[in-house]
Amino acid sequence: MQPAARRLVGVAGAAAVLLGVLCIGLVAVGHPSSAGAGALTLPNAVPISAVRYGQPPLKVLLVGDSMAGSLGVGLGELAAAYNIRLANAGAPGCSVSMDGQIFLTYSPAPPGPPCVLDRPNQLLSTWQRWVSVFRPDVVVYLARGDLINQQLHGAWTNVGHRAFNQWLSTRLRAAIGVFSSHGAKVVLMTVPMSEQHTVHSRPEDNAIRVARESAILRFVARSSGRVTTIYDLSRLLTPGLRYRASGGNVQLRCADGVHLTAEAGMVVATDLYPRLWAIAARHRAPGGGGWTSGGLPAATPAWYSKLACG
């Protein structure tokens, strides 16, 4: 057996154990639709039979910040096995809430591309171009960046402040409009706890912020009708809002205590991919599959190799 195959078997076995003891899943928002897959509720897994191998690949666009990009590494390793065409467009230092400067580990800095400092709508325009060309069946959004201290209209703020909560809700609704503009379903992922190894604890590693941001995601999803669903990644990887670096003999987090290992992404893929097939079964977006320039973004971004992830 090849090393990659041995790793897949090991991770799949550990994933079965891990997923069997955690109440995780994709919670459908709104009422079941006769045109859709109906409600998917905790803690029942979606069977592998939901994957349609006789159909064109399911087009999945993954967006958000570097946490999303790191998740995409493991998702990419199993994409073909689940008949998925994955575009991993997670980008460091860029999330839907970012407007002004963001506070990184030790100092303020501008957000990273495709975010543009003081031009928040530029991100929505970029996402719209990606959606219009790729025509995803499902868009998945994950961003730990929405937890960090950042400037909004020139003032420093964060999740939990009323003005920021309203801003984040408005931005998420606008993003959902972009993501679903060609018929895609939208999945908002809750953010797992992180634990950075810095001199002082980071405010974005606080469980209260994680819980507040998750509540906003759920509120926005409920108000979006049948378009949007929640995937409780936080509950899967950090149940009880307690950080853990590993679970089920699988290393889940990179050395920085933030980003996800390829193995973590593979664990998520075994549960997530059949669910994505189920919610998009009768909502396939016609055409697309390409990218705005050249081929699809690499499932393993160039910056990922700079992290100690295994």
What three-state secondary structure class fits 254?
coil
How is residue 182 written in tokens? 């060609």
281 pLDDT above the threshold of 90 = no
pLDDT digits (tens, 9 = 90+) for 85-139: 999 999 999 999 999 999 987 789 999 999 999 999 999 999 999 999 999 999 9
**In terms of residues, how long is the chain?**
310
Q: Is the dihedral of CA 21, 26, 31, 33 positive or negative?
A: negative
Beta strands in 182-221 (DSSP E): 185-189
Bigger pLDDT: 199 or 71? 71
The CATH number given to 3-306 is 3.40.50.1110
CA distances from 235 to 23, 61, 84, 145, 259 (A): 8, 22, 24, 18, 16
Name the residue ranges covered by the structural domains of the chain: 3-306
Examine residue 43 and say whether the peptide bond preceding it is cis (omega within 30 degrees of 0): yes
Quote the distance between the C-alpha of residue 42 and its chain's center.
19
Once rounded to an integer, what is the mean pLDDT over residues 293-297? 90
pLDDT digits (tens, 9 = 90+) for 15-74: 555 554 433 333 333 222 222 222 223 356 788 999 999 999 999 999 999 999 999 999
Q: Which of 138, 140, 161, 141 is nearest to 149 (CA)?
A: 161
CA distances from 175 to 107, 116, 273 (A): 28, 16, 22
